[in-house]
Amino acid sequence: MDEVKKWAQEMQTYALPRWENLPNIELYMDQVVEVVEKQLQPLFLKNQAKIITATMINNYVKLELISKPVKKRYQRKHIASIITITILKQILPISAISKSIKLHTERFTADIAYDMFCTEIEYGLQTVGRQILGEHIVQGLKQTESLELKMAAIAFSSKNILEKILIREQTDKKDIKKQNSEQKERRKKNGK
């Protein structure tokens, strides 16, 4: 439990790099892997498999989750996307990650969307960390008895609500397209 509490304490001050702090020079694949690993290492177990690999990044390009690098060089936008995908793939399937990224980049510029993502991840980590440190304990249960249950409930609830939000956003988008199409048809019929 001491290691968990230590992690929880570290998460109170952990910060993902903001857009302006990401490398503003083009990087080769091995450099991208190094940058992403360095930034995300505190979030993952020390004995866990590689956080990110060149193969993973190549797959993201093939799946069109990130744009192709120019002359094998990756830009700031690639690094931001790789960090985002690496975090989200811990809880979501790639198809949901793709939808989420598209929704946010349609609404916001890449830099704003990425910085918003960082802020929300940090808030989530801090909230979970405070739970672990005992700031919010389920009534009637000791911290050690409720921690696993509480974290599982938070993870389950968060994942499910995110999926519902993504489905709603897709449905709303389809409805808007349908309404626009119907309006165009009415205008054609009315000769306007």
Predicted pLDDT of residue 57: 97
Angle between the N-to-C axes of helices 76-88 and 110-132, in degrees from 0 to 180, rounded to the nearest 10: 40
Query: Does residue 191 lie within any of the structural domains?
Result: no
The tally of domains found in the chain comes to 1
Q: Is 5:27 a contact under the CB 8 Å cutoff?
A: no
Query: Does residue 22 lie within any of the structural domains?
Result: yes
- Quote the domain boundaries for residue 104: 2-183
Tell me what the pLDDT averaged over the chain comes to: 84
Confidence of residue 141 (pLDDT cuts 50, 70, 90): very low
Mean pLDDT over 83-111 rounds to 89
Confidence of residue 105 (pLDDT cuts 50, 70, 90): confident
Token pair for 90: 């811990």
Query: Does residue 129 lie within any of the structural domains?
Result: yes
Query: Does residue 79 lie within any of the structural domains?
Result: yes
Residues of the chain with pLDDT > 90: what percent? Answer: 39
3-state secondary structure of 182: helix
Residues of the chain with pLDDT > 70: what percent? Answer: 83
The residue count of the chain comes to: 192
Predicted pLDDT of residue 146: 56
Query: Does residue 190 lie within any of the structural domains?
Result: no
Query: Does residue 112 lie within any of the structural domains?
Result: yes
DSSP 169-190: HHHHHHHHHHHHHHHHHHHHHH
Predicted pLDDT of residue 43: 86
